[in-house]
Chains A and B, each alone.
Chain A
């Protein structure tokens, strides 16, 4: 702040409403958000998820220049497209970050998914992030790299009516994410540099964060869920605020990918792993002393998943009220199946 008066006058602003806005965080969005669409889209997704009609495909292409491309490609403009509560007709739509914007229907696209894919490729828009509705009854599929990437896509989960401030519900969603989404073929491919050698990619935590964000925002659509919000002592991996829900509280999640090898195969020592986990606990401990719940989520990407490495962390978390949640991440479908057979669930609390 360069020019604020010492008196910090609020002029005509309503102090009480400013305080409520600050506490709930309603409308909070960061410019560095890694998801290509705003959380508000999830309300629209839920409206459009189910249909009484036979499933028909709708593709939403998230791009930074929807009207510019739309105008050049002679698309039909649909005013305030994302706030429509009924599912629009089938076709390919170019849209921006917010559902308050317009949609641009690509000419000649309609009921035939294969035709739509071809027309999207011809328009050279096939490498933008894509969300597809209606390939079956209620699934919504996210293709982060568009059609080009030859991927089956990641499922966007259904909203629930409960609160992420309730530990049981949030933990069950975290488990669901780890056992279903992280174990899916497409997400597995994104997490490993060399899967058969257990070398995770350098940005494993970031990748997990991106897809966990999408899942949590879809499931808890009335809450504000922020990635990397800045606080005095650093940045929180994920912060959940009450937003529209009118429910007081806030939750912080620190995420750690636990490695046995670096992305180039360099071994990571046990002491380094323990130090990294300890740093995560310190971070969680430092931020927001009044938080409803604090979590440290450990995503174990090691080949030898020796659990004694977490003994010290468990004790520390128990003593300071941080909830430690441990999830196993496997590089192949075979390993996933083995883990399910071995543990019965594939993840442990």
Chain B
């Protein structure tokens, strides 16, 4: 797991390691579905969804709060870590777009073979890492299957947490830090209850249907209407 570190700060060592494993697991799911490379905006949406649905898989989220914004979710710390992973050869970068004022407009990331091997090795260190890795990969696959239409607009319009009408833009959406309610996870449970399936035994079924439900907004494919 030390492959994932190039810092010497002991205080943040475990958190950094975990965050980087978390990123690699998400990217391995994107890769399995065939959607690598993933652009930066999409990665932020995926990171939010992975946090929001973690509860369905029985694993803790990396961050149970997010700033609600018109531009959609943003995780600056994760972006910083992805760039470190690029430096280590575990993630490769492509599609860099810089505007005339030299500001970065887009960049895409894909996990490399070395990154995939590293993620597999990390999973073997502890059963809880394997469980977390599985859940992140599953969430990333669900997102990636629907990535063409699963946008910030979909989140703002109909996601349990992010579209919560009691939270305004510029405020923090809390789905587990202080507030004991995760409306996104509740929505997935609602879907599976309607379907008659058991959430605990196979949460992926519900997470996939929920991702399609979010994507249907932007795809202008209102289900059964």
Q: Which A positions have Cβ atoms within 8 angstroms of B? A: 1-5, 7-15, 17-32, 38, 40, 64-69, 71-72, 80-83, 95-98, 100-103, 226, 229-232, 235, 241, 246, 288
Contact = CB atoms under 8 A, between A and B. Distances in A.
A26 B223 contact: yes
Contacts of A18: 187, 190-191, 194, 213
B111 A68 contact: yes
B190 A97 contact: no
Nearest to A37: B34
Of A3, A17, A19, A32, the most chain B CB neighbours within 10 A belong to A3
B172 interface: no
A97 B141 contact: yes
8 contacts: A13-B187, A25-B195, A67-B110, A96-B34, A98-B145, A103-B34, A241-B195, A288-B196
Contacts of A32: 202
B165 interface: yes
Interface residues of B, number: 72
B180 A30 contact: no
B140 to A, nearest CB: 11
A40 B145 CA distance: 9
Contacts of B32: 64-65, 96-97
B205 A28 contact: yes
Contacts of B116: 65, 68
A22 B191 contact: yes
B65 interface: no
A28 B205 CA distance: 5
Kindly name the residue among A28, A64, A66, A71 whose own CB sees the greatest number of chain B CB atoms within 10 A.
Answer: A28
Given A67-B31, A102-B36, A3 B55 contact: yes
B98 interface: no
B37 interface: yes
Given A230-B202, A246-B224, 20 more contacts: A3-B176, A3-B185, A11-B160, A12-B163, A13-B187, A18-B191, A24-B223, A26-B212, A27-B213, A28-B208, A29-B142, A68-B31, A72-B113, A83-B148, A97-B32, A97-B145, A100-B34, A100-B147, A101-B35, A101-B144
B86 interface: no
Contact of B194 (A19, A81, A100, A246): A19
B35 A21 contact: no
Nearest to A25: B195
A95 B35 CA distance: 9
B110 A4 contact: no
A1 B209 contact: no
Given A11-B164, A12-B183, A22-B192, A98 B144 contact: yes
A21 B31 contact: no
B213 A21 contact: yes
Contacts of B22: none
A87 B192 CA distance: 37
Contacts of B193: 22
Interface of B: 31-37, 55-56, 58, 92, 110-113, 115-116, 134, 138, 141-142, 144-148, 157-166, 176, 180-187, 189-202, 204-205, 208-213, 215-216, 222-224
A226 B31 contact: no
Nearest to A291: B196
Given A29-B204, A29-B208, A100 B186 contact: no
A27 B207 CA distance: 9
A272 B56 CA distance: 39
Contact of B183 (A13, A66, A83): A13
B50 to A, nearest CB: 14
Contacts of A231: 196-198
Contacts of A246: 224
Contacts of B190: 8, 10, 13, 15, 18-19, 22
Contacts of A22: 190-195, 209
A10 B116 CA distance: 36
A17 B194 contact: no
Contacts of A96: 31-35
Most buried by B among A65, A66, A67, A232: A67
A302 B155 CA distance: 55
A9 B183 contact: yes
B106 to A, nearest CB: 14
A156 B123 CA distance: 36
A18 B192 CA distance: 10
Nearest to A27: B212
Contact of B182 (A3, A19, A98, A232): A3
